[in-house]
Amino acid sequence: MYTLFIKFLIFITPILASLATLSSSAVFIIYLLSFSHRLVRIDEIFSSFKKSKLLVLSLFAFLSFCFLSALYSLNYKNTLLESLKVSVTVLCGFMLLFASRSKLPVSKLFLSGYLVALVFCYMEFIFNGMIITNINHYLLNKTIYFDPSYLNRGMTFIAIAAWVAIIPLIRSNRKISSYYLLLLSFVIIFIYTSESAKLGIIAGVTTYILAKLFKHNFASIFQVGIVGVYIFIPIAIYYLIYNPHVQTLFQHIPWSFEHRIYIWQNVLDLISLRPLTGYGFNAARIISELNLSSMMIGSTSISLLPLHPHNGVIQILLELGVIGLVLNLTVWLSIIRTVSLTSSIGEDFKPFIYALLATYITISQSSFNIFMSWWLCLIFIIVFNFLISSRAEGNKG
């Protein structure tokens, strides 16, 4: 009965996440409870930590700085609770990844759920949100008018989870089918309005190709690339904002990204006042409530700082400063190093997790509050399913 429930949980996860009918935070808690029998093995947890000392130390340093920065935040009581919630979520997430060692024959269940999710997403587009509107009407007693942007979160999940769903096809030597699945994912993502998901899956495909080309040296290349992204983004945004031809650029980019450029300009001005330590953890949300800055675009008034800056690097600089940015970068570099050294992930599957992480990082640079519980939970759920799929059957190291 327990195994049957686990199978159903893994099958239903892509469907729920893509339609955003259940938050990934709730799904994450269900995963933790479902694998609690594995999480209580303290000896295994400590053994896993010992094998990844650099990752553990970098993670502890970053989370500790988040907590300390909450003390000088603008609303330290609420911010301390938020920093603790993030710390607990991240630590539980890594514990969940250790539980993925459970030997379960589930390698094709995530793929099946993913295919159903793609069908449902296409149906939503064709039938103007039939599933979501009916769920809200009959289960939640709410009447909503469907907008394609409702599935923006779902599209980001589709972009990241594609690299997990594709694994069973690769294992079965059905490469043509895997290409069709990736193409189908592209089509579904591009008919919706999530520009972040589009950028994410393009970055994922690029990363996958490079990982296949460079193979054993790619981990170092990926690390250099992440360092470049963290350094390049603030500089690129600065020169973009103050480029005299920026108005010409606005004619060729989506409105959502034009709005983001104005937001980043405002946030960079704030960062310049406290560049080293930032304004404290969760400051973006607090400042957004205090900052009444807005501007008119045509007849529309837009906020120059909504609840978050829509860019992970810029958000970290605003809240945690250069110190926090360096610590966060160290965490990512440690994650890449750990992946490259993990023998239980076969060399044939490492390009997929590199692509998965690249997709997640790219989306984080153009959308969402990177410390939101649902966004943190999402990556752990997907990586958990990746580890199960890549270790299933013939790869149980």
Which comes out higher in pLDDT, residue 133 or 272? 272
Please choose, from the candidates 331, 324, 326, 314, the residue with its C-alpha nearest in 3D space to the C-alpha of residue 367: 314
Confidence class for position 395, pLDDT limits 50, 70, 90? very low
Residue 109 lies in a domain: yes
pLDDT, tens digit (0-9, with 9 covering 90-100), for 61-120? 999 999 999 888 777 777 888 899 899 999 888 888 877 665 655 568 899 999 999 998
Residue 259 lies in a domain: no
Please check whether residue 277 is in contact with residue 63, taking contact to mean a CB–CB distance below 8 angstroms: no
Residue 238 lies in a domain: no
Task: Name 350's Cβ contacts closer than 8 Å, sequence gap at least 6.
Answer: 211, 218, 339, 340
Residue 171 lies in a domain: yes
Residue 118: domain span: 2-216+371-391
Q: Exposure string (b/e) for 90-110, b if CB count within 10 Å is 16 or more?
A: bebbbbbebbbbbeeebbbbb
Alpha-carbon distance of 335 to 331, in angstroms, equals 6
Instruction: Give me the residues paired with residue 301 across strands.
Output: 296
Out of 26-35, 216-225, 336-345, least confident range: 26-35
Please check whether residue 218 is in contact with residue 354, taking contact to mean a CB–CB distance below 8 angstroms: yes
Tell me the average pLDDT of the chain: 82
Q: What is the pLDDT of residue 139?
A: 63
Residue 84: CA count within 13 A, CB half-sphere: 7
Residue 378 lies in a domain: yes
Q: Over 80: is that where the pLDDT of 142 sits?
A: no
Confidence class for position 301, pLDDT limits 50, 70, 90? low
Instruction: Give me the residues paired with residue 202 across strands.
Output: none
Which comes out higher in pLDDT, residue 302 or 88? 88
Please check whether residue 330 is in contact with residue 278, taking contact to mean a CB–CB distance below 8 angstroms: no
Domain count, the chain: 1
303 φ, ψ to 5°?
Answer: -80, 140
Please check whether residue 394 is in contact with residue 112, taking contact to mean a CB–CB distance below 8 angstroms: no
Residue 337 lies in a domain: no
CA-angle at 165, arms to 331 and 214, nearest 5°? 55
Confidence class for position 251, pLDDT limits 50, 70, 90? low
Confidence class for position 249, pLDDT limits 50, 70, 90? low
Residue 281 lies in a domain: no
Which comes out higher in pLDDT, residue 24 or 16? 16
Three-state secondary structure call for residue 286 = helix
Q: Over 50: is that where the pLDDT of 215 sits?
A: yes
Going by their DSSP bridges, the two strands 300-303 and 294-297 should be labelled as antiparallel
Three-state secondary structure call for residue 217 = helix
Tally Cβ neighbours within 10 Å of residue 43: 7
Segment 201-213 mean pLDDT: 95
Segment 8-24 mean pLDDT: 78
Residue 317 lies in a domain: no
Using CB atoms within 10 A of its CB, is residue 224 exposed (0-12), middle (13-18) or buried (19+)?
A: exposed
Alpha-carbon distance of 116 to 118, in angstroms, equals 5
Alpha-carbon distance of 230 to 36, in angstroms, equals 36
Q: What is the pLDDT of residue 330?
A: 96
Q: Which two tokens stand for residue 173?
A: 């030597």
Alpha-carbon distance of 199 to 122, in angstroms, equals 20
Q: Where are the alpha helices (DSSP H) in the chain?
A: 2-19, 24-34, 36-39, 42-51, 53-71, 76-99, 109-126, 130-138, 152-165, 167-171, 175-191, 195-214, 218-241, 246-250, 255-271, 283-290, 312-341, 350-364, 373-391
